[in-house]
Amino acid sequence: MDYLLVMLATVAVIFGGKAFWDWKKNRTPQLDLEELEEDRAEYLQENFDKAMDDFKYIEEARKNISDREVSTQLAKMQRVAKKLLANLEKNPERIPLAYKFIDYYQDRAVKIVKQYQELEETELSTERVRDLKYKMKTTLAALDGAYADQFEHVLNDQIISADAELKVMQQQLDAEGIKKKTVDVGEVDEYGNVRIDKDLLNQPLGGVEIKNLPVGSVPSVRSPRGRRRSYEIDSMQTFPENERPQIIQRKLIQSALAIFLGSLGAHKFYQGKTLQGVLYLLLFWTTLPTWISFIEGIRYLFMPVEDFYEQYIKDDKNWRR
């Protein structure tokens, strides 16, 4: 009887975990609009719902597109769109600022994706069709910058406020005779870490000149005279598509360790969280770590690869070793 209860509980956790992730993935966020007038609240909710519907359509479509390049490009766009929509959910008053993203860029992206799917279904490979597909790819690639620009536009007030606060703080430091130290950067190593050139630690920011940095390594810097030293940034390369198999492998290993050896803290030791692993080990006799780690293992198993990378791998500089 005990074994039967354990099996039923296990099945319930597995299906419950999958149902939870499906709900989380497909749910429509609800905006906090209680303090706004009815017409205003309805307008904001309508626009946000449209943006979410378009986002979900592209998310579903990219999984069904056989062309790897297009699928990867859409995944890059979706990561920016997801963060932008999350910001709008928390700050619904900013929704009108994203009107170009909602009514033009993402709307056009949906139309291009639909047309691309229709071309794929025909299975035609004529020169004209190939040329049209190529134009669609380049257009989607150009939308990366459009999405990022819209996100920056939405955050404009926040950026201006932070910049003003920093200027006031710097003025206060200058008044008190406190000088800030700046650093220059060197090359980026194989793990994406920027080396610090200690010989240039005391150089003022105005004298810093950054050269030969890989795409996506550092953001642009504004000099004291207001001139922008810009660097091309591929902000969409957050998820390394070429390393997807290794990430999936780690995801499966971490899940298996949590499910089968989680009571001993194996998955925590695997993640490098030694203190948590020891805590699981010490509480092994209570069976509490067993249930917690089992649920964690199911969570790892059904978690999207991109989300797993963001939460457990992105900031781990030693994971490739």
Give the tens place of pLDDT for each residue, 41-55: 899 999 999 999 999
Say yes or no to pLDDT of 244 above 60. Answer: yes
Provide the 3-class DSSP secondary structure of residue 196: strand
What is the per-residue pLDDT across 7-34, written as a single tens digit (0 to 9) for each? 555 555 555 555 555 555 555 566 777 7
Helix axes 68-90, 127-154, angle to 10 degrees: 20
Instruction: Tell me what pLDDT residue 212 has.
Output: 46
Query: What whole-number distance in Å separates Cα of residue 2 and Cα of residue 8?
Result: 10
Hey, is 187 helix, strand or coil?
strand
pLDDT digits (tens, 9 = 90+) for 250-306: 999 999 999 999 999 999 999 989 999 999 999 988 888 999 999 999 999 999 988
**CA count, 13 A, side-chain hemisphere, 20:** 14
The strand ranges marked E within 205-303 are 221-222, 228-229
Structure tokens at 49: 């719902």
pLDDT of residue 20: 55
Beta bridge partners of 229: 221
Give the C-alpha separation, 292 to 266, whole Å: 13
> In the prediction, which pLDDT does 14 show?
52
**DSSP state, residue 285:** G
For the residues 85-100, what does the mean pLDDT come to?
A: 92
pTM score: 0.52
In this prediction, residue 197 carries a pLDDT of 45
